Amino acid sequence: MKKHIPNIITCCNLVCGCIAVSAAFQHLFVSAFLFILIGALFDFFDGMAARALGVSGRMGVELDSLADVVTFGVAPSAMLYMLFREVRYPEMIYSNFWFMVMPVFGFLVAAFSALRLAKFNIDERQHTTFIGMPTPANAIFWAALISSSEDYLCSPMFNAPFLLAFEVLFCWLLVSEIPMFSLKFKSKSFADNKDKYAFLAICAVILLVTGIAGAEMGCAFRYLSRGLAGCIGTYLVMSIAGSYIHRSSDE
């Protein structure tokens, strides 16, 4: 029985992804975000369970990737699809053609997430670090941003071309060759995990500040969601900066 436990947890991740997709298409962005977060928790614990029980295998790896494509690829894409239907369109592309075509670009995230996961499965360099942006981080960023800042994204200060450019940037980050640190701790040594401890400390400050601000404004969840998107942005900046510093020192 114990050999099935990690796969059951992975299937829970998959079910969460399916619910998130359904919620997104019903314009229930907050619900979609919550189920993506729950799916991310299951994704974290399935690998931990497999290692603890000593039952990791090829089937579990493949099932995990299939579940991740849904939860961290299709679900945020569904949210982007719906957002493209509401976002403002500048006059030069204000036509029924673009109203139908632009939302389809939302599924670029699903395609590039699948590419990212396939690349991860065959890349021997990614045991302790990541090469490119992890799919859960990308999904949580988009879900947090859309669920908390829909008013701004659909305001005159933003528009469909900006959204597409932003999406393309993150699709590139998914499959880029930029090294990004993992939050897996092999030891508790501060010297070996400086970047991880620094990142967690910064995230704690961001979430504390946004949580307090949100509580004062009466919308704590919205502010915390924005804070979480900010944490993902911090992760990207620290990873890219760290990669640049490491490359410069090697030269």
Write down the pTM of the prediction: 0.91
Provide the pLDDT confidence category of residue 172 given band limits of 50, 70 and 90: very high
The pLDDT of 133-144, averaged and rounded, is 96
Q: Does residue 25 have a pLDDT over 60?
A: yes
Q: Helices 58-69 and 5-25 sit at what angle, rounded to 10 degrees? A: 10
Which tops the pLDDT comparison, 242 or 81? 81
Query: Which has the closest alpha carbon to 80: 122, 24, 120?
Result: 24
Q: Does residue 38 have a pLDDT over 80?
A: yes
Provide the pLDDT confidence category of residue 250 given band limits of 50, 70 and 90: low
Provide the pLDDT confidence category of residue 124 given band limits of 50, 70 and 90: confident
pLDDT tens per residue, range 91-119:
999 999 999 999 999 999 999 999 999 98
Instruction: In the chain, list all ranges with CATH 1.20.120.1760.
Output: 2-177
CB 121 within 8 A of CB 68: no
What's the CA dihedral at 235, 236, 239, 244 to 10 degrees?
Answer: -150
Q: Does residue 3 have a pLDDT over 80?
A: no
112 burial via Cβ count (<10 Å: 0-12, 13-18, 19+)? buried
Strand ranges, E, within 92-228: 129-131, 179-181
- 33: tokens are 């975000």
pLDDT value, residue 150: 94
- 184: tokens are 């897996």
Mean pLDDT estimate for the chain: 90
Which tops the pLDDT comparison, 239 or 21? 21
pLDDT value, residue 77: 98
Which tops the pLDDT comparison, 122 or 77? 77
Q: Does residue 169 have a pLDDT over 70?
A: yes
Return the CATH architecture of domain 2-177: Up-down Bundle (1.20)
pLDDT value, residue 127: 63
DSSP state of 231: H
pLDDT tens per residue, range 197-242:
889 999 999 999 999 999 988 888 899 999 999 999 999 999 888 8
Alpha carbon separation from 45 to 38, 50, 51, 120, 200 (Å, rounded): 11, 8, 10, 19, 19
